[in-house]
């Protein structure tokens, strides 16, 4: 029988430090980092709060988010802010968004929200806006320009004409492998906004783009895909240091395309298989990625987690805090010019659980 983690197990795994009331996360010590320019931010994503009926929600997904919020609160030193990476709700209902927002309200840091498709397709983000604000926007922090995109839009025809009801539209988009789905995109209007926003930014300023969809084309069948990826990447090309952080895939992925580093974040709810494990289709997994450990479904929180990111001299280093696995750190290597796993990048360092088939 599956064991939702007992209190004793939680304390044991979190160590004596949890009992002490802090979770000292050691910042990645990098030879090239100038400590004065460092700051950290937390990243929680893909909680998929799912309503069963009335005030009853799927306990499994609730626990994942509750734990991420609790642990992020214990971070020492404190992160400057937290990003919520999208898919707070499962079917975009007011009840789910409210329940998710209630859990997130315990977070003691300023939080910026990114839209996910599970939040959007019921009412096109109307209630989400009431809770969290704009669908896309930018802000500056300690010399870094942050852009938040709503990258889960799709063709107008699918969004407005295809389905007889909003509920059905949401159900159809909710199935990852649903052949009736439609590819994600940033879209013409938002790309034009992005172009204008970036015009005012110095090309030496580090850029961090927060998106739900990958802004790459990985596997269309599961919408690990952004239809206008090349056009978005072209807008980011003139900048010296660009990092894209995305959710949606519920697994470790990272990549480098030209000047852009890409980092995926984990879900708090559940892990997804790598597209390479689907035998009936061709797909492309970012080649740098050393996969996460295969999930052990008998441990509810296995292969789920949250992140914190260290911005050192404009490059992003991501630490994956996995509840049931060893922490993984993917840091930008200025020698090679791409992100690397601190422990497992070399082929001979891979361990058996990282082999997916």
Partner 1 sequence: MKDNKGKCYTIVLAILASAWGAPALADEFTQAELTRWESEYMAVVKKGRELFTDSKLGSNGVVCAQCHPNAANTHPETYPKFQKQLGKVASLWEMANWCIRNPLEGKDLAADDPRMTALLAYMTFERRGVKLEPGKH
**Binding-site ranges for partner 1 (CB under 8 A):** 1-2, 50-52, 58-60, 175-177, 221-222, 270-273, 275, 277-281, 295-298
- Minimum separation from the CB atom of position 284 to partner 1 (A): 16
271 or 286: CB nearest partner 1: 271
Give the Cα separation of 72 and 78 in Å (integer). Answer: 9
- Minimum separation from the CB atom of position 298 to partner 1 (A): 4
155 or 272: CB nearest partner 1: 272
Q: State whether residue 147 is helix, strand or coil.
A: strand
Name 329's bridge partners.
Answer: 319
- Minimum separation from the CB atom of position 270 to partner 1 (A): 5
Q: Tokens standing for 71?
A: 């642990």
Spatial neighbors of 118 by CB under 8 A, at least 6 apart, are: 48, 86, 87, 88, 89, 90, 91, 92, 170, 173, 174
2 or 26: CB nearest partner 1: 2
Q: Tokens standing for 222?
A: 């599961």
- Minimum separation from the CB atom of position 93 to partner 1 (A): 12
| Contact predicate 227/184, CB 8 Å | yes
51 or 190: CB nearest partner 1: 51
61 or 136: CB nearest partner 1: 61
Give the Cα separation of 342 and 4 in Å (integer). Answer: 30
137 or 272: CB nearest partner 1: 272
- Minimum separation from the CB atom of position 279 to partner 1 (A): 5
- Minimum separation from the CB atom of position 222 to partner 1 (A): 5
16 or 52: CB nearest partner 1: 52
DSSP E strands, the chain = 23-24, 39-44, 51-53, 56-57, 75-76, 81-84, 111-113, 137-141, 144-148, 207-211, 217-219, 224-225, 242-246, 254-257, 260-264, 305-312, 315-322, 328-333, 338-341
50 or 253: CB nearest partner 1: 50
207 or 295: CB nearest partner 1: 295
- Minimum separation from the CB atom of position 291 to partner 1 (A): 12
Transcribe 269-308 into DSSP letters: S-----GGG-TTS-----TTPPPPPPP-TTSTTTT-EEEE
Give the Cα separation of 93 and 97 in Å (integer). Answer: 6
Pairing outcome for strands 39-44 and 111-113: unpaired
- Minimum separation from the CB atom of position 58 to partner 1 (A): 5
| Contact predicate 116/46, CB 8 Å | yes
**Radius of gyration for the chain, computed over Cα atoms and rounded to the nearest angstrom:** 19
- Minimum separation from the CB atom of position 278 to partner 1 (A): 5
């Amino acid at each position: 029988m599956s064991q939702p983690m007992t209190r004793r197990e939680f304390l044991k795994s979190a160590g004596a430090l949890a009992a002490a009331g802090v979770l000292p996360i050691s910042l990645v010590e990098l030879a090239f980092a100038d400590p004065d320019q460092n700051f950290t931010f937390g990243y929680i994503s893909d909680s998929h709060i799912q309503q069963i009926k009335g005030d009853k929600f799927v306990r499994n997904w609730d626990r994942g988010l509750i734990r991420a919020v609790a642990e992020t609160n214990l971070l020492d030193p404190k992160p400057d802010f937290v990003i919520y990476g999208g898919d707070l709700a499962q079917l975009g209902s007011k009840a789910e968004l409210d329940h998710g927002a209630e859990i997130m309200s315990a977070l003691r840091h300023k939080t910026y929200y990114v839209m996910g498709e599970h939040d959007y397709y019921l009412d096109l983000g109307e209630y989400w806006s009431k809770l969290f604000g704009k669908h896309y926007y930018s802000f500056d922090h300690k010399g870094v320009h942050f852009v938040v995109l709503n990258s889960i839009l799709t063709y107008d025809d699918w969004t407005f004409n295809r389905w007889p009801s909003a509920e059905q539209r949401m159900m159809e988009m909710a199935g990852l492998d649903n052949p009736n789905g439609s590819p994600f995109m940033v879209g013409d209007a938002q790309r034009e906004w992005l172009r204008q926003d970036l015009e005012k930014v110095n090309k030496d300023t580090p850029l961090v783009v927060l998106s739900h969809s990958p802004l790459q084309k990985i596997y269309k069948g599961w919408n690990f895909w952004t239809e206008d990826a090349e056009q978005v990447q072209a807008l980011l090309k003139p900048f010296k240091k660009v990092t894209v952080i995305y959710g949606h895939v519920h697994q470790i992925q990272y990549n480098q395309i030209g000047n852009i580093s890409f980092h995926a974040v984990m879900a708090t709810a559940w892990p997804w298989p790598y597209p390479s494990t689907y035998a009936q289709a061709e797909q492309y997994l970012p080649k740098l990625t050393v996969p996460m450990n295969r999930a052990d479904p008998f441990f509810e929180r296995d292969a789920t987690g949250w992140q914190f990111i260290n911005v050192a001299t404009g490059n992003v280093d991501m630490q994956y805090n996995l509840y049931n696995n060893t922490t993984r750190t993917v840091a930008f290597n200025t020698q090679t010019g791409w992100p690397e796993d601190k422990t497992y990048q070399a082929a001979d360092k891979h361990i058996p659980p990282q082999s997916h088939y």
